C-alpha cells in the first residue's frame, strides 16, 4: 500500500485545481489477490476503510472496473460513492444510477450451443467452472490439476478453433480464464 499512497499523493499534486481525479481500480489482482475461486477473493476491512476515505474526498472519484457482475462488486465493496463498470462493460453504475446499455438478446442464444458443447467436452475434468455473464460466459480453469492440463488445453484449443471458424465471437483471455462474447455485442458496448 505504501507505493499506492506515494503515487496517489503525486497524482493529486499535479492535477489541475477544480477537476476531480478519477481513480480506476480493478478488483481481482489489484484491490484483492487473485483467489482459487472468485467468491474467495474478499476485500480486507482496511481496504474498505481506505476506499471509504478516498471516496469521501471531494477532489476524487473512484471507479472499479471488472469482469465481475455489478451485484457481486456492490456486495463486496459496500462503499458509498463508488462507481462501477462491471461485466466487462456490460453494466455501468455511475453517480448512484445504473446506466443500461443496449444488449443484443440474440447474443446469448447464439453462444449457448457453443457453451453447451464446451461443457460436454470438459465434463470429465475436475477444477473448472463456467461463469455466465451478460452477452457471454467465462471459463475458469485455474484449478484443473496439472496431470490433466495438457489434455484439457488440447480439447479447449480444438473447441476454440471450431468457434473461430464459425466467426462472430471474441475471446478475452486472462490468467487461466477465457471469456467469450459475440463480436456484435462487444461492439455495442464500446
Statement to judge: residues 84 and 32 lie in one domain: yes
Statement to judge: residues 64 and 90 lie in one domain: yes
Statement to judge: residues 66 and 127 lie in one domain: no
Select which of 26, 59, 132, 166 is catalytic. Answer: 26
For 42, the domain range is: 2-98
Statement to judge: residues 180 and 123 lie in one domain: yes
Statement to judge: residues 93 and 110 lie in one domain: no
Statement to judge: residues 115 and 55 lie in one domain: no
Statement to judge: residues 93 and 113 lie in one domain: no
**Total of domains in the chain:** 2
Looking at 37, 70, 98, which one is the last position of a domain?
Answer: 98
What confidence score (pLDDT) does residue 14 get? 56
Whole-Å CA distances, 83 to 57, 64, 94, 186: 14, 6, 5, 21
Looking at 98, 124, 150, which one is the last position of a domain?
Answer: 98
pLDDT digits (tens, 9 = 90+) for 46-104: 999 999 999 998 888 899 999 888 999 999 999 988 999 998 788 899 999 988 777 67
Statement to judge: residues 29 and 113 lie in one domain: no
> Which of 40-44, 65-69, 110-114, 176-180 has the largest mean confidence?
40-44
Statement to judge: residues 45 and 90 lie in one domain: yes
Across all residues in the chain, what is the average pLDDT? 85
Return the C-alpha cell found at 21.
Answer: 481525479
The answer on pLDDT for 182 being more than 80 is: no
What confidence score (pLDDT) does residue 13 get? 65
Catalytic (active site) residue 132: no
Looking at 98, 117, 133, which one is the last position of a domain?
Answer: 98
Shortest CA distance to 62 belongs to which of 16, 31, 29?
Answer: 31
Statement to judge: residues 8 and 88 lie in one domain: yes
Answer whether 138's CB lies under 8 Å from 178's CB. Answer: yes
Positive or negative torsion for Cα 107, 109, 113, 118: positive
| CATH number for 154 | 3.90.1070
Statement to judge: residues 87 and 136 lie in one domain: no
The answer on pLDDT for 189 being more than 50 is: no
The answer on pLDDT for 12 being more than 70 is: no
Statement to judge: residues 21 and 94 lie in one domain: yes
Amino acid at each position: 500500500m505504501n507505493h499506492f499512497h506515494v503515487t496517489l499523493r503525486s497524482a493529486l499534486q499535479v492535477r489541475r485545481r477544480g477537476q476531480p481525479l478519477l481513480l480506476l481500480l480493478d478488483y481481482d489482482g489489484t484491490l484483492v489477490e487473485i483467489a482459487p475461486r472468485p467468491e474467495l477473493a474478499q476485500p480486507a476491512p482496511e481496504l474498505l476503510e481506505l476506499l471509504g476515505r478516498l471516496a469521501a474526498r471531494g477532489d476524487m472519484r473512484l471507479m472499479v472496473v471488472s469482469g465481475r457482475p455489478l451485484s457481486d462488486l456492490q456486495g463486496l465493496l459496500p462503499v458509498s460513492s463508488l462507481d462501477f463498470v462491471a461485466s466487462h462493460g456490460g453494466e455501468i453504475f455511475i453517480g448512484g444510477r445504473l446506466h443500461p446499455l443496449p444488449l443484443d438478446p440474440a447474443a446469448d442464444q447464439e453462444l449457448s450451443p457453443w457453451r453447451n458443447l464446451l461443457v460436454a467436452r470438459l465434463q470429465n475434468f475436475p477444477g473448472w467452472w463456467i461463469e455466465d455473464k451478460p452477452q457471454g460466459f467465462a471459463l475458469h480453469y485455474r484449478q484443473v490439476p496439472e496431470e490433466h492440463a495438457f489434455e484439457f488445453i488440447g480439447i479447449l484449443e480444438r473447441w476454440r478453433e471450431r468457434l473461430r471458424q464459425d466467426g462472430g465471437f471474441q475471446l478475452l483471455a486472462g490468467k487461466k480464464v477465457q471469456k467469450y462474447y459475440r463480436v456484435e455485442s462487444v461492439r455495442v458496448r464500446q
